[in-house]
Amino acid sequence: MLFYSVDKLGYIEISIRGSKGNLELSPDNYDIREIIAMLENAENLLYPNDKKDRPPISYSIEKGSVKHILKTSIQYIIGFNAIIGQINQVQNIDFLELSTAKAFENIQDIASKKDYVFSIKTSLDNTNEVNIDRTTKFRRTEAIWAEAEFYFYGKVTNAGGKDKANIHIHTEELGLVRIKTPIRFLEEYEDNLLYKTLGIRVVGKQHTETGAIDTATLEFIALVDYQPKYDEVYLKSLRDKAKKSWLGEINADNWLTEIRGGI
């Protein structure tokens, strides 16, 4: 278990001003579902990638009207402060990693629907600050996300669903990926998919500049014939073919001297 000393901690503060009917917003009338949603968004603001090994995040809620205080390693607070500084400068979120961008979009949606005013800053001296309300437009530019086809290879860890079916596949590149799958395919597929290593062809959204994949948009197209086995005969044939072509014509001593620059 990891422990962090107090001097190595910092925090982000997400304050919200607004009202509940005729009442000013406060921790006493701020619903638990709103707290849960904000905690999920805050985690993605701080740690957009693999959360398995992230440092601990402690939480408190304070008055004024509502203040979310999220304390964690100062290293990540410094990085987040730079992010909100850049957002203020360019006034868009297209440059952010996908999870972080979605978190800002979610906060923007809350501000627009409930007429809340958000202020996001850190505990650092001279902190940067981002303000979000119903007039701001912190949403990704749709034009930079295009539909594309992908192939994922890995072990299936789950398959099914009562109303909306999915296949969960663990990949080396993206970790666990959830793919929307037609219920009819799962009903008609005769073999058990669970814990088998498979290839799956899917369609989804990809960032046209960074190449990032929006895993929330992935939809099943077909299974791919995938045989990840070590074929010694095939590899030997490739080595023999190479020896007969360019490798067989090389003087090993001369080639090594050339690689070393004549030394």
Domains, the chain:
6-140 (3.30.70), 143-224 (2.40.50), 233-263 (no CATH)
Q: Which two tokens stand for residue 118?
A: 């958000």
Using 50, 70 and 90 to split pLDDT, how confident is the model at 1?
Answer: very low
Could you give the CA distance from residue 60 to residue 74 in angstroms, rounded to a whole number?
Answer: 17
Q: What is the pLDDT of residues 48-89, one digit of tens each?
A: 887 778 999 999 999 989 999 999 999 999 999 999 999 999
> Which of the listed ranges 94-98, 232-236, 257-261 does the model predict with the highest average pLDDT?
94-98
Q: 180 near 218, Cβ under 8 Å?
A: yes
Q: Are strands 145-160 and 166-171 parallel, antiparallel or unpaired?
A: antiparallel
Q: What is the CA radius of gyration of the chain?
A: 26
For range 42-52, the mean pLDDT: 87
Amino acid in the structure at residue 146: A
Q: Residue 3's pLDDT is what?
A: 46
Give the angle 209-213-219 at the CA atoms, nearest 5°: 135
pLDDT at 4 over 70: no
pLDDT at 108 over 70: yes
> Which of the listed ranges 46-50, 134-138, 240-244 does the model predict with the highest average pLDDT?
134-138
> Which of the listed ranges 15-19, 96-100, 191-195, 205-209 does the model predict with the highest average pLDDT?
15-19
Percentage of the chain exceeding pLDDT 90: 59
Q: What is the pLDDT of residues 160-217, one digit of tens each?
A: 887 789 999 999 888 899 999 999 898 888 888 889 888 999 999 998 878 888 998 9
Q: What is the pTM of this model?
A: 0.64
Q: Which helix (H) or strand (E) holds 80?
A: helix 74-90
3-state class percentages of the chain: helix first, strand second, coil last, to nearest 5:
30, 35, 35
